[in-house]
Structure formats: structure tokens, C-alpha cells
Structure 1
Amino acid sequence: MQTIQYPLLVETTLTRVIEAGSGPAVVFVHGLGARCDRWSGTVARIADAGYRAVTFDLPGHGLATKGAADAPADVPALARYLVTLLDLLGIEQAVLVGTSLGGHICAYAATLIPERVPGIMLVGALGIAPLSREAAEGIQRSVKATSLEEIRGKLNYVIADPTLVTEGLVHEEWRINNSPGANASFVRMGNYVVDGLERDYVASEVAALYPPDKIRLVWGAADKAVPVSIGEQCRDLLGGAPLLLIEGAGHAPYFEKPAAFDPPLLEFLAALY
């Protein structure tokens, strides 16, 4: 199905929305340093299956406003931003699917409006299992590294199949992550990961609100950025929520292995809706 994209003012920050289809809503949230068009193929395919599929750029990312000192830059504020976006798009209920820091944002948002979120899928997610300071500092360094070769190296680190790291992808990522205001946004969020993220973990709140069958955990079996051991900790903290490992995939299994990612997502949606 054809996707459409358009700008949308959410609070004081302009973002880009990509969506397709109609029916029950599914909202996809990207991670730190990424952007929403990584979900474009997923959006089109899930829309073809009978859903309204939506994704958007987080503030400071993609084509959204960058560098604004008052823009959301921590998980609670970004979760509220997500809720406001749902309101503006007239979405009364939505399954939330988030990857990496986007998983943390989705989980936090689900605790704010559980009556509107029938279930959550967390993909290589942060914010459930504790992150060591060493790992947090590694994320901070990574998000601030924006030279062309550093971008190439980061993409090869998070994507298991090197053939997917095309020159076009590298140069597009480099240009977007060096656009005006991007560095200031990444510095704020990288500092938050080190100094503030641990205040906002939501494992106990999610576990209290959502039984295991309303949660799905998906991990790339070759994920170096957030390894499978973190997924296993998430499973245990969330009462034994199902954990799916996708072979041959790194930190972005939805992008790397869509034929393995989409069917369990559709099965989960069918059970919820």
C-alpha cells in the first residue's frame, strides 16, 4: 500500500508523519539517532494487512525540528509527545511498537494511557532492564559521532547484513544527522541516557498494567547494540512475556528481516484487536 508523509506540529515541535491504511491503529517509534523512514516498509506492509500504520520522527531526529532548547529530550516528555500525537491524529486506541529508545518511549506512554494501548511490542528495547553506566556512555559517544566514516561504522554495527548498508543509506544518514540543530539535540539526549535514563525505567509499572500476553519482545539474534541478554532480562522482568529471536538480524530486525518480523507482529495484532 502507498504511504503518505506530511508535516505535523506537535506541541511546539514540527515532525514528519508517515502513514498508510485504515482500521485499527499501530504506531511505530524509532530509536535514538535514527528516524521514522526506517519503518516505511513495515508501515506499508502492515497497512496492506488491514491496519492504520503510523510512524513519526522524534524531536531532534529525521526531518523534525532540531536544536530547540524546549523540545522533549527525555523519555517522560517524549512519551507525552507521543500521546499528544495520537490525539492530533484522532487515534483513540493504538498498539505501540518501539525499537531501542523508542521501545522505552512506548512502554512509558503505555503506562500513561493504558486504556488506549491494548498491547506493546518492544524491539531491542531500552528502559526495561537496567543499563550499565559503561553501556550508557557508549550510547552517548555513539550518538554524538556524526562524521561520514563514523556513520558508516555505526550502521555496520547495528545492521548485521553489510549489503544493507548502502552508500545511499550512509550518505542520507550523514546528511540528516549533520543538519542544523542535530548535534545539539543529540548532545542533550546522549547526556540524558547517561545521567537521567535510570530514573525513568518502567518495568514494574508495565508488569503491573500488562499481563505477559499483551506484550511481545523481539530481538535480533545478532544484536550487538542491545544484546539478547538484555532481552532475556526484559522477559523475566515482564512476567515471562514472549521473546522472539530473529536469526541473522542485528539491532533493526524489522528493517533487516521483514519476512521474519511481520508475521509475529500480525499475529499479535490479531490477538489484540
Structure 2
Amino acid sequence: MRAEYLDVGGTRSFVLDDGEGPAVLCLHTAGQNGVQWRDTQSELAALGYRVVVPDLPGHGRSEPAPGGAVSDLGAYAVWCEELVDVLHLERPFVVGCSIGGAIALQLAARRGECLAGVVAMAAHGGTDTPGLSVRGLRRELVDAAAPSRSDRTYYGTRAVVGRRVPAERAELIARMHRREDPQVSTSDLIGWVNHDVRDVLPTIACRVHLVAGEDDLWLDVADVRRTAEAIPDARCTVLDGVGHYPMEELEQFAAALHEWLDDLGSRCTGRKP
């Protein structure tokens, strides 16, 4: 495993790079960082992939973006494009969850012809009925350092983890998540609410697999299915008993992801699985 700081988009950015083979860029959720992929990275690398896990600007061990907290997921997509170029990744897969899944869809819309495929989890192309209010989120930025925010993150995470996850694992996920920077995570959520690529979904030029947890209280599975229907040859998987964080909730997630990536590659090249 290689860990390094790279200059990407004017930000000193922390990136983990593990394994050899087809590249897989793994994107984390709002306010979090690459540690969410800690159980997946080495296992996926052992299956024959080069797994690249960055901390987005302002997250984890990456320095803040030059203009401060980012509230436009398109800006993260541009940053990811530069990261792909800096690392010379040739036709990578992109896998993301929540805002990471939305960013993956933005990348598919922006340069799908340069990607081997996309797995977008807990994400959709956009919706007219978001569960969050931009106005309310902007109010939170005024008091984003309030101690109660970490508790809201903790209890909110516990509530959205799926029913099949053991209590001890659900507790660990929630305690890991509460370490986020409220200023950054709130800005991420503003980007999530404003994210909308529905108009360009039919033009996406790579294979896409959308994944949603049946127990995800922050997402309407119907929106995910509509997104899949709008993308040519896209597939949609709904995971029973799983919530908003499949890569953290599923014990054998690397094996499941391997199957999805193999399917994407098979359909892209025309070979049979």
C-alpha cells in the first residue's frame, strides 16, 4: 500500500494507492474520508485491482480546498478528473457512496467514455423532493461548531444503518462517523441537495450499476430506480437489510463489488462473465 500527498486542484491531497491491475477510484460519503474503505481496500487489491482511495479536499488528511468548504459536487468531480490524470489512471472504474455516488454519476456524465464503469451507491441523478433544505443547511453553517452536531451525526448514522448489521458493527460505524468536520459535511450536504444530472443521464457513455440499501432512510429507492431507467443499459441492485453505507455494513463487500465490477467490464468489452 502506498500513501502519499499529491497536489490536486490546488489542494495538498492525501491518497492511498494499493495493488496492481484495473484501477478503481473509491469515493467516500459526506463529511467522511477514505477510512470508510479500510475493510475493502486490501481485499479488493488482493482480487487483482489497483485501488485508489482519496480524501476529498477538506476531508480526513487532505488540506482544505483553496476556496474553503465545497458545496458543489461538480467541483469534486473536476478534482477527481485531475486526480485521475495525475495518477495516470487509464479507464478506471469509479465507485462511490452517497455524495461519492453522486460524484461518480457526475464523472460518468462528464467523461464516461474515459471510464471502465461506475458503481454509484446510495445516490441518484437528482430529485424535485429532497429530504434536506438548502436554506436549513445554510443556517447550520452559522452554528456548525456546536457540540450537539457530533451527537446528531452519531445518532443519525445509527438510525440509517441497516437492520442486518450487528449492533457492535453499527456502533463502530456511528462512532467513526462522528469525527467529521461539521462545516465540511454541511457544505457537502448542500452539494447533495443541489446535485442534479437527470438531463444528461441518457447520454452517459459508460456502464453504470446503481446500488441502494432497502433500509436507507435518507434515500428513496424509487429515485434510484428512475435514475437507472434513464441511463442506457444501467443496472440497479437493492440490498435487503442494508442502509446507507454498503461498504461499511456488508462483511463481504469486496467480493460483492468484485462481481459488480466484473459485470461492468464484461458488458463494456462484450465478453461473457
**Normalised by the size of structure 1, how large is the TM-score?**
0.81
| Residue in 2 that maps onto 1:163 | 168
| Residue in 1 that maps onto 2:252 | 259
Structure 2: gaps (5+ residues): none
Residue deviations 1:6-32, cap 9 Å, x none?
A: 222212112221221111111111121
| Residue in 1 that maps onto 2:219 | 226
Post-superposition offset of 1:259: 2.2
Out of 150, 153, 156, the position equivalent to 1:154 is 156
AA matched with 1:249: V
User: Any runs of at least 4 consecutive aligned residues in structure 1 with deviations exceeding 4 A, and if so which?
Assistant: 136-139, 141-146, 169-172
> Structure 2 CA distance, aligned partners of 1:154 and 1:138?
20
Distance 1:34 1:48, change over 3 A: same
Distance 1:264 1:219, change over 3 A: farther
Residue deviations 1:201-250, cap 9 Å, x none?
A: 22332322337xx1111111211111322222222222462211222211
Out of 122, 127, 130, the position equivalent to 1:130 is 127
| Residue in 1 that maps onto 2:6 | 8
Identity %: 24
Distance 1:134 1:221, change over 3 A: closer
Q: Quick check: 2:212–2:238 contact (8 Å CA) kept in 1?
A: yes
> Structure 2 CA distance, aligned partners of 1:158 and 1:56?
24
The SS at the match of 1:19 is: strand
Residue deviations 1:80-133, cap 9 Å, x none?
A: 10000011111121111111111121121222222311211110114x141524
How many residues align structurally?
258
> Structure 2 CA distance, aligned partners of 1:138 and 1:229?
25
Structure 1: gaps (5+ residues): none
| Residue in 2 that maps onto 1:174 | 178
Distance 1:223 1:171, change over 3 A: closer
Q: Quick check: 1:139–1:193 contact (8 Å CA) kept in 2?
A: no
Residue deviations 1:34-75, cap 9 Å, x none?
A: 211111222222211111111111112222223753564412
Q: Quick check: 1:7–1:17 contact (8 Å CA) kept in 2?
A: yes
**Normalised by the size of structure 2, how large is the TM-score?**
0.81
> Structure 2 CA distance, aligned partners of 1:67 and 1:20?
25
Distance 1:139 1:38, change over 3 A: farther
Distance 1:133 1:122, change over 3 A: closer
AA matched with 2:4: Y
| Residue in 2 that maps onto 1:236 | 229
RMSD of the alignment, in Å?
2.9
AA matched with 2:241: G
Q: Quick check: 1:12–1:71 contact (8 Å CA) kept in 2?
A: no
